[in-house]
Chains A and B, each alone.
Chain A
């Protein structure tokens, strides 16, 4: 019922639909990118919701997603490395768009929170999300050992 939740609704309606479409259809290389995109988008949405509901403790949910979301993408990158080597992912532009959106949301929420430990927590969450998302897309693009766990 305020600007924060309205922004979250719009972002989830647009980005969420794109992520679901991307992950449910098409070749594997697009699906993994869409999976990474979904977490990169959900994290700022959760920060917006925490701010919109005025519940600072909801930031913990975004923090856990910022840590575990990229780990999930790394799982796919690691265990699907063989398939992804033959057919490396494309469409990483969308990931950059989501990262820019994350950065903008973190900046806006920080400005609304004001200086203090709460702001540093938001910045840490944002830094983890952005670096995690970029590293995960790097890992998808031939960043993992090709043979998987080949034996000696």
Chain B
């Protein structure tokens, strides 16, 4: 049964990681990355590595999406200003 649990979480990680690579839009990619972080944390916990799971959760659930979306906002704002002045 434990093997089953490892298999399920591994498949979740593989599916989410593939979706993250396939996403083209950075905003949607950030959403997939947030879910990937949670899936990885589950995998690490199942493999008895809660320290790594905590690191992954700490970085992946709020900090990385915030950095990504702030960068997207900055780029969009610059684009809008350029459009206005031209």
Contacts and interface: CB of A to CB of B under 8 A. Distances in A.
Interface of A: 1, 5-6, 8-9, 12-13, 16-17, 19-20, 23-24, 28, 31-32, 34-35, 38-39, 42, 45-46, 49, 53, 55, 57-58, 60-61, 64-65, 68-69, 71-72, 75-76, 79-80, 83, 148
Given A20-B19, A24-B32, A68-B58, A9 B69 contact: no
A106 to B, nearest CB: 17
B38 to A, nearest CB: 5
Interface string B4-19: 1100110010011001
A24 B5 contact: no
A46 B50 CA distance: 10
A64 B58 CA distance: 8
25 contacts: A1-B2, A9-B1, A13-B8, A16-B12, A16-B39, A19-B35, A20-B39, A24-B22, A24-B32, A28-B27, A31-B28, A34-B35, A38-B34, A57-B50, A61-B57, A64-B54, A65-B38, A68-B61, A68-B62, A71-B61, A72-B61, A72-B65, A76-B30, A76-B31, A79-B73
Contacts of B39: 16, 20, 38, 42
A58 B19 CA distance: 29
B73 A9 contact: no
Interface residues of B, number: 39
A46 to B, nearest CB: 6
B5 A5 contact: yes
A61 B55 CA distance: 10
Nearest to A73: B34
A122 to B, nearest CB: 16
